[in-house]
């Protein structure tokens, strides 16, 4: 049974007061005592916001001023460590990395990717999983995995994350979105190694096998697409959607109404995107072509054609954008919209 709000607040205030005794001290023993004191109150931590307050408070202490020394202690975690201690260590590392350059890259280089994989596969505590997934995503954002490291993104890990997405449908939405964002990051990592088509489409291949068990995945992927306001995230989502619509086995993963929403979002973002961001603009146009080919409504198809006509003729469009828009418009009008991986192999993902 979760603690009452008043009880949780009392424990949080007492914890913050207690750890003040360590503010000016340093050394591994001090760091250990801080972690142990936080661990004692883990049952009273309500959510990741409480943990953020705790982490940001103690990371201002002298013991964490030296990145190398702090990491030497905090990064000792093991996947089989008790859950409260693992939760505290990962929370401190997450907020340490958000505040300090190079922490996430150091963790990735120090074999935290396999450790986080083990946590995701073995731990059944939502609080621990939430922090592990967010930390995993942060590592993927700053570090390009080698081919051998990409082997860790295997069917077991992807299936586990997709299962957690479906199971967390009615839980805290931030947890569900964190799971989706990690899968989006995995797709980006796989796309960077373009030498192997099977590797590039590993996530899509698994989605094809569980087409009847990815309702929450498809719904919330669109929801995140609609909410995304950072070009990097928008581009990553468009890349994943493009991968999904490129292949016959996943092309019909979304309902017709979903296709309408995807088109609406893509048209809106194409009109909003800066002319300087040609990569995102072009990716959105290619996605719309695929969605129209997957059976979007006549209204949506007309909406896309109107946008393409405007882009191909507008004096405000760059030459490369005009040419791409004109080509896609011609293909849609001639019913030659590509709907397979082969026919869109030249798409600039």
* pLDDT > 90: percent of the chain: 66
Pick the closest to residue 243 from 323, 188, 162, 281 (CA basis).
188
Mean residue pLDDT across the chain: 88
d(CA 156, CA 49): 30
- Residue 241's alpha-carbon distances to 231, 245, 263, 308, in angstroms, are 15, 6, 12, 20
Residue 348 has pLDDT above 70, yes or no: no
Residue 166, judged by CB atoms within 10 A of its CB (0-12, 13-18, 19+), counts as middle
> Helices 231-246 and 278-293, interaxial angle, to 10°?
30
The per-residue DSSP string of 235-277 comes to HHHHHHHHHHHHSTTTTTSS-HHHHHHHHHHHHHHHHHS-TT-
- The alpha carbon of 291 is separated from its chain's Cα centroid by a whole number of angstroms, namely 22
Q: Are 64 and 147 in contact (CB under 8 A)?
A: no
- Residue 300's alpha-carbon distances to 115, 303, 307, 336, in angstroms, are 45, 5, 11, 17
Long-range CB contacts for residues 72-80, cutoff 8 Å, separation at least 24: 72/28, 73/28, 73/31, 73/32, 74/31, 75/106, 75/107, 75/110, 75/112, 77/115, 78/115, 79/115, 79/118, 79/119, 79/122, 79/123, 80/122
| Residue range 208-226: mean pLDDT, rounded | 94
d(CA 156, CA 158): 6
**Residue ranges in 100-229 assigned as alpha helix (H):** 103-109, 112-122, 126-142, 147-150, 155-167, 173-192, 197-200, 202-209, 215-227
What is the pLDDT at residue 75?
Answer: 83
| Residue range 260-272: mean pLDDT, rounded | 96
Q: What is the pLDDT of residues 71-99, one digit of tens each?
A: 888 887 666 678 999 999 999 999 999 99
What is the pLDDT at residue 346?
Answer: 40
- Round to the nearest angstrom and report the end-to-end CA distance of the chain: 47
Residue 340: pLDDT band (50, 70, 90) is: very low
Residue 194 has pLDDT above 80, yes or no: no
Residue 2: pLDDT band (50, 70, 90) is: low
């Amino acid at each position: 049974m979760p603690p009452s709000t008043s009880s949780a607040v009392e424990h949080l205030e007492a914890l913050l007061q207690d750890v003040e005794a360590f503010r000016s001290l340093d050394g591994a023993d001090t760091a250990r005592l801080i972690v142990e004191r936080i661990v004692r109150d883990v049952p009273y931590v309500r959510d990741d916001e409480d943990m953020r307050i705790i982490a940001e408070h103690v990371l201002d202490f002298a013991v964490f001023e030296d990145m190398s020394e702090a990491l030497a202690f905090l990064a000792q975690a093991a996947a089989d460590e008790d859950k409260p201690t693992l939760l505290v260590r990962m929370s401190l590392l997450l907020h340490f990395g958000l505040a300090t350059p190079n922490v996430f890259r150091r963790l990735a280089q120090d074999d935290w990717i396999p450790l986080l994989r083990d946590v995701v596969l073995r731990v059944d505590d939502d609080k621990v999983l939430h922090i592990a997934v967010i930390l995993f995503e942060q590592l993927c954002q700053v570090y390009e995995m080698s081919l051998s490291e990409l082997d860790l993104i295997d069917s077991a890990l992807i299936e586990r994350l997709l299962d957690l997405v479906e199971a967390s449908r009615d839980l805290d939405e931030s947890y569900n979105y964190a799971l989706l964002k990690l899968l989006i990051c995995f797709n980006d990592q796989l796309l960077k190694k373009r030498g192997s088509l099977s590797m590039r489409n590993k996530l899509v291949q698994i989605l094809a096998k569980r087409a009847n068990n990815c309702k929450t995945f498809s719904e919330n992927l669109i929801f995140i697409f609609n909410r995304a306001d950072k070009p990097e995230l928008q581009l990553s989502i468009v890349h994943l959607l493009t991968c999904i619509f490129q292949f016959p086995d996943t092309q019909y993963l979304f309902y017709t109404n979903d296709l309408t929403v995807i088109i609406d979002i893509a048209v809106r973002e194409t009109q909003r995107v800066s002319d300087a961001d040609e990569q995102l603009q072009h990716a959105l146009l290619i996605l719309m072509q695929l969605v129209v080919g997957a059976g979007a409504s006549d209204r949506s198809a007309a909406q896309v054609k109107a946008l393409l006509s405007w882009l191909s003729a507008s004096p405000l469009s760059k030459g490369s954008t005009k040419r791409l828009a004109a080509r896609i418009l011609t293909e849609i009008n001639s019913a030659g919209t590509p709907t397979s991986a082969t026919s869109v192999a030249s798409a600039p993902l």
